[in-house]
């Protein structure tokens, strides 16, 4: 999409170029890269871009948190990387934990959206039936329920496809294995095979098809080495499907179902020991799980429970955490006097209502640790009440306010609704009050890391003059921001603070730098010097580079530029002037400005 072209180009450049990308997937808010060398990626430059919330190194992936429009960015970046969305196995050295999380994410993340969609259909059906619009015995109810149930009933087919992509098996072979395991005639039926009597069922299961596909994948690769090309297209899948499905049905499946039963029973037993304590732990730590990207593991365990027909207690414990995070951000929004912080809070509140908390976590509360802790406490309170009330996931559903129908059983919908409202109140009210009372626009929210103001050192030696005297209306009238101008006495530009180079024009006559505190400075060497096309300029840095105060950035030849007839009045301006309450340019000989945060 055209609107994301600039962001995508910026991302590609700062992850080391497309040649550094092995594969790319995405989840609700994050681009998940597999990079050949993560050291080539420029974390600071990426974090400084307005379209990027933060960058994370986790689960063996280089994750760029984008926000709600990550899907559009993903679709824009794929063709530029020459990728088609296929998951590619990497040879990077990663820990066993990271490999496990990557495996789980690759198989389940592509289908989470469809699970939520079908879960919402089932929830809507329950609500409409409860309100009396139609009865639970009507044909319409049966039809809508079947639509919602379909993805769960035939889940082995869907997982067969995603597992095949991960294990490098032909995807349609994975689907056929899933279809075979779901075939009605052999599910829940007494069969005698080689004198073994069997009665098993694989509809609505997860592990059997994953393990069967894992066995089928190397089998396919081996056969492809020996079977002639002329018959390979049909003979290889025939052999693979036949052998792997028989093994899956008779051996792999029963073992996998047993293991799945142990996992499910283990979770339910832990919950049964102390539901309220489980609620405090999962509700309180869920946002920490999100930060480290390991929450998907618990989601998959919940999916396994639901697929097996067991209401899941774990996800219900975190269902209201997004509201506690949102309540904290709402309190900050109402109390802060900072315009920029307010502008960050509003979209984070909207996202939080719909269950997407990454903008709030990474953009606001995690930087203000007491606020993040308050939101975790709110999550713990709501989780404790959800456990006390016995709320459980009956089916998958959406996120945020759309997550509540997941906990509505067919019988007792009204009571569950009331309990969800109360749990939401536990998440919202205490956290909002605590955040509103304790939040202050103090030093942590000022430019710079140690006070309410930040110094901008003079980047070029020379005579300082008011910006209004510059012979260029855009600069002199302050259209581009407040600042001063310098008539250089030495042709060298130094970094005015610690920060990141966000702009370096190809002609090297203009440099944009953002400080660690968020101050954005433009140093424009002379008037109309862009017409020199870089002549008489020499750069020592590149766009995206990290720089320290007083580091040499650019050299320019004063004498020759003046001989060419150019004016060397050099504006140094704060381009994000609107973010600050004051910019004081009447300072000492070593600085050009002191700025104070709004």
pLDDT in tens, 223-253: 999 999 889 889 999 999 999 999 999 999 8
Using DSSP's 3-state secondary structure scheme, residue 597 falls into: strand
Q: Please state, in angstroms and rounded to a whole number, the distance separating the CA atoms of residues 59 and 47.
A: 19
Nearest residue to 79 via CA among 24, 143, 158, 6: 24
Residue 58 has pLDDT above 70, yes or no: no
**pLDDT band at residue 598 using 50, 70 and 90 as cut-offs:** very low
Predicted confidence at residue 446, as pLDDT, reads 43
**pLDDT band at residue 300 using 50, 70 and 90 as cut-offs:** confident
**Which segment of 227-236, 341-350, 451-460, 582-591 scores lowest on mean pLDDT?**
582-591
Q: Output Rg (C-alpha) for the chain, integer angstroms.
A: 29
Mean predicted confidence (pLDDT) in 274-293: 82
Angle at the Cα of 280 from the Cα atoms of 277 and 282, rounded to 5 degrees:
105
Predicted confidence at residue 523, as pLDDT, reads 92
Nearest residue to 42 via CA among 20, 60, 69, 74: 20
Using DSSP's 3-state secondary structure scheme, residue 426 falls into: helix
Predicted confidence at residue 360, as pLDDT, reads 83
Give percent above pLDDT 90 in the chain: 27
pLDDT in tens, 521-564: 889 999 888 888 889 999 999 888 888 888 999 999 999 999 98
Predicted confidence at residue 88, as pLDDT, reads 46
Nearest residue to 429 via CA among 385, 392, 397, 370: 385
Show the tokens assigned to 164.
């095949």
**If residue 32 lies in a helix (H) or strand (E), which one and from where to where?**
strand 30-35
| Phi and psi at residue 507, to the nearest 5° | -80, -5
Mean predicted confidence (pLDDT) in 72-85: 82
| Cβ within 8 Å of residue 1, ≥6 positions away | 72, 75, 76
CB 486 within 8 A of CB 463: yes
Predicted confidence at residue 450, as pLDDT, reads 38
Domain spans in the chain, listed from the N-terminal domain onward: 2-90, 101-270, 274-445, 453-597
Give 298 or 560, the one with higher predicted confidence. Answer: 560
Question: What integer best gives the mean pLDDT of the chain?
Answer: 83
pTM: 0.53
CATH number of this structure's domain 2-90: 3.30.1360.60
The reply to whether 116 belongs to the active site is: no
Predicted confidence at residue 451, as pLDDT, reads 39
pLDDT in tens, 356-401: 787 788 778 877 889 999 999 999 999 999 999 989 888 877 778 8
Residue 94 has pLDDT above 90, yes or no: no
Residue 586 has pLDDT above 70, yes or no: no
Give percent above pLDDT 70 in the chain: 88
CATH number of this structure's domain 453-597: 2.70.70.10
CB 364 within 8 A of CB 329: yes
Residue 298 has pLDDT above 80, yes or no: no
């Amino acid at each position: 999409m055209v609107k994301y072209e600039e962001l995508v180009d910026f991302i590609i450049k700062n992850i080391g170029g497309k040649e550094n990308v092995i594969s790319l997937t995405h989840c609700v808010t994050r681009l998940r890269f597999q990079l050949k060398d993560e050291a080539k990626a420029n974390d600071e430059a990426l974090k400084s871009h307005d379209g990027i919330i933060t960058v994370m190194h986790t689960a063996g992936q280089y994750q760029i948190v984008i926000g709600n429009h990550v899907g559009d960015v993903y679709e824009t970046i794929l063709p530029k990387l020459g990728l088609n969305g296929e998951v590619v196995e990497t040879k990077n050295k990663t820990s066993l934990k990271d490999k496990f999380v990557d495996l789980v994410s690759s198989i389940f993340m592509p289908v989470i959206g469809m699970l939520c969609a079908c879960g919402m259909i089932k929830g809507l059906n329950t609500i409409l039936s409860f309100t009396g619009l139609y009865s639970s015995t009507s044909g319409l109810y049966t039809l809508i329920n079947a639509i919602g149930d379909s993805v769960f009933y035939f889940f082995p087919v869907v997982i067969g496809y995603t597992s095949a992509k991960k294990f490098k098996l032909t995807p349609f072979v994975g689907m056929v294995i899933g279809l075979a395991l779901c075939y009605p005639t052999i599910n829940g039926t007494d069969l005698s095979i080689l004198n073994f009597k069997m009665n098993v069922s694989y509809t609505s299961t997860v592990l059997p098809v994953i393990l069967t596909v894992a066995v089928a994948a190397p089998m396919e690769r081996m056969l492809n080495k020996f079977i002639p090309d002329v018959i390979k297209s049909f003979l290889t899948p025939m052999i693979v499907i036949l052998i792997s499905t028989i093994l899956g049905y008779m051996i792999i499946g029963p073992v996998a179902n047993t293991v799945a039963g142990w996992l499910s029973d283990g979770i339910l037993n832990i919950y049964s020991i102390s539901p309220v304590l489980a609620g405090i732990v999962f509700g309180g730590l869920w946002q920490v799980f999100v930060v480290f990207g390991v929450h998907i593991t618990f989601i998959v365990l919940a999916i396994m429970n639901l697929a097996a027909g067991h209401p899941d207690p774990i996800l219900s414990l975190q269902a209201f955490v997004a509201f506690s995070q949102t309540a904290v951000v709402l309190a900050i929004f109402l109390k802060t006097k900072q315009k920029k912080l307010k502008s960050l809070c509003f979209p984070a509140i909207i996202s939080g209502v719909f269950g997407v908390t990454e903008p709030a976590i990474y953009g606001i509360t995690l930087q203000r640790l007491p606020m993040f802790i308050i939101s975790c406490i709110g999550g713990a309170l709501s989780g404790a009440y959800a456990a006390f009330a016995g709320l459980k996931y009956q089916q998958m559903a959406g996120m945020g306010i759309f997550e509540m129908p997941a906990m509505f059983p067919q019988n007792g919908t009204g009571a569950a609704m009331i309990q969800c409202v109360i749990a939401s109140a536990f998440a919202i009210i205490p956290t909002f009050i605590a955040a509103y009372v304790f939040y202050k626009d103090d030093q942590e929210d000022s430019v710079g890391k140690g006070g309410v103001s930040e110094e901008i050192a003079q980047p070029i030696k020379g005579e300082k003059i008011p910006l209004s005297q510059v012979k260029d209306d855009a600069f002199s009238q302050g259209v581009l921001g407040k600042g001063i101008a310098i008539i250089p006495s030495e042709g060298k530009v130094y970094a005015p603070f610690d920060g990141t180079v966000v702009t370096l024009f190809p002609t090297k006559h203009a440099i944009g730098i953002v400080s660690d505190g968020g101050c954005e400075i433009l140093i424009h060497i002379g008037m109309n010097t862009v017409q020199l096309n870089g002549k008489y300029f020499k750069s020592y840095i590149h766009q995206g580079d990290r720089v320290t105060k007083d580091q040499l950035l650019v050299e320019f030849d004063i004498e020759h530029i003046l001989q060419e007839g150019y004016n060397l009045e050099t504006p140094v301006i704060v381009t994000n002037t609107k973010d600050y309450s004051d910019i004081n340019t009447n300072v000492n000989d070593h600085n050009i400005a002191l700025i104070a945060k709004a």
